[in-house]
Amino acid sequence: MFSLKLLSTGLLLLITTAVHAVEYTADEILSKVRNRADGADTYAKASLVLKEKNGSARTRNLLFLQKDYGKDDKLTLNFTEPADVKGVVLQSINYDEAAAKEDDQWMYLPAFRQVRRIAATDKRGSFMGSQFSYIDLDKLRVTDYQQTRIGEEKFNERDCYLIERIPAALEVINRTGYHKVHVWVDKESFVVLKQVYFDAKGIPFKEFQAKKIEIVQDIWTVTHSEMRDLVNSRASDLIFSDVSYDVGLDDVFFQQNIMKTGVKSGNLPTIR
């Protein structure tokens, strides 16, 4: 005679086993990273901290605004202080990967009073004197690389998939400067927790780490990350505060006119 309790337990065991049996390919994992739910828009304050080998540091504060436009998304970074960077604005458009278009970036420098498009060949350059390059601000692109799962490891006590990425074409190397990348992806959140970048000789020269991740409005959020140059020991931290999702940001914040006028706090009535 069947026991309902035993039958239920057996079904639960089968379901649990099936869930744990799911194995994602490297492409599937990174697609989940790229397409991870992060709200219709995002507002935050941020600090870019430039750290020297001797321990000295400089901090640059900015506003971070991002909004989805269908399968594309737009980003505006508006530096607010100190005085030497106040009014500098970067805008970008990350296109749907299926469109096979290069993501666009523009920079406004108040001293020159003009908006300059950042060419693909310039994206390897340092972003605002930091260890982050302009290409690091672009959204992860799955098809730019051939990737393989090479293992599983813990990072900061979190279980991760370890993936090796090899550029799919010479153009990708020319645009990024990366000949190989190792990526640690958190199994629970599908957030990238660590990346190591290799040069043409197979030597690691740069490393990204997510120092702190938090759940904000039910969304896993990297609130502190670091990019470290393994050659000269300089590093840069990007630290977020007052993160808010789905705040209803106006389209005006993602038009090029805002680059010259700047984002004013009085123009953000929905941010609390």
pLDDT at 271: 53
Q: How far apart (Å, rounded) are the C-alpha atoms in residues 43 and 75?
A: 10
DSSP, collapsed to helix, strand or coil, labels residue 14 as helix
Mean pLDDT of 128-139: 96
Q: Give domain status of residue 232, yes or no.
A: yes
Q: What is the pLDDT of residues 207-255, one digit of tens each?
A: 999 999 999 999 999 999 999 999 999 999 999 999 999 999 999 999 9
Q: Give domain status of residue 128, yes or no.
A: yes
Q: Give domain status of residue 10, yes or no.
A: no
Q: What is the pLDDT of residues 39-65, one digit of tens each?
A: 999 999 999 999 999 999 999 999 999
Q: Give domain status of residue 196, yes or no.
A: yes
Q: Give domain status of residue 130, yes or no.
A: yes
The residue segments making up the domain with residue 235 are 25-267
* pLDDT band (50, 70, 90) for residue 35: very high
Q: How far apart (Å, rounded) are the C-alpha atoms in residues 88 and 221?
A: 25
pLDDT at 268: 67
* pTM (predicted TM-score): 0.88
Q: Which of 4-8, 37-41, 125-129, 234-238 has the lowest mean pLDDT?
A: 4-8
Q: How far apart (Å, rounded) are the C-alpha atoms in residues 173 and 121?
A: 10
The domain spanning residue 258 has which CATH number? 2.50.20.10
Q: Give domain status of residue 12, yes or no.
A: no
User: What's the number of domains the chain is made of?
Assistant: 1
Q: How many CB atoms lie within 10 A of CB 55?
A: 6
Q: Give domain status of residue 89, yes or no.
A: yes
Q: Give domain status of residue 41, yes or no.
A: yes
Q: CB of 101 within 8 A of CB of 120?
A: no
Helix (H) or strand (E) holding 80: strand 72-81
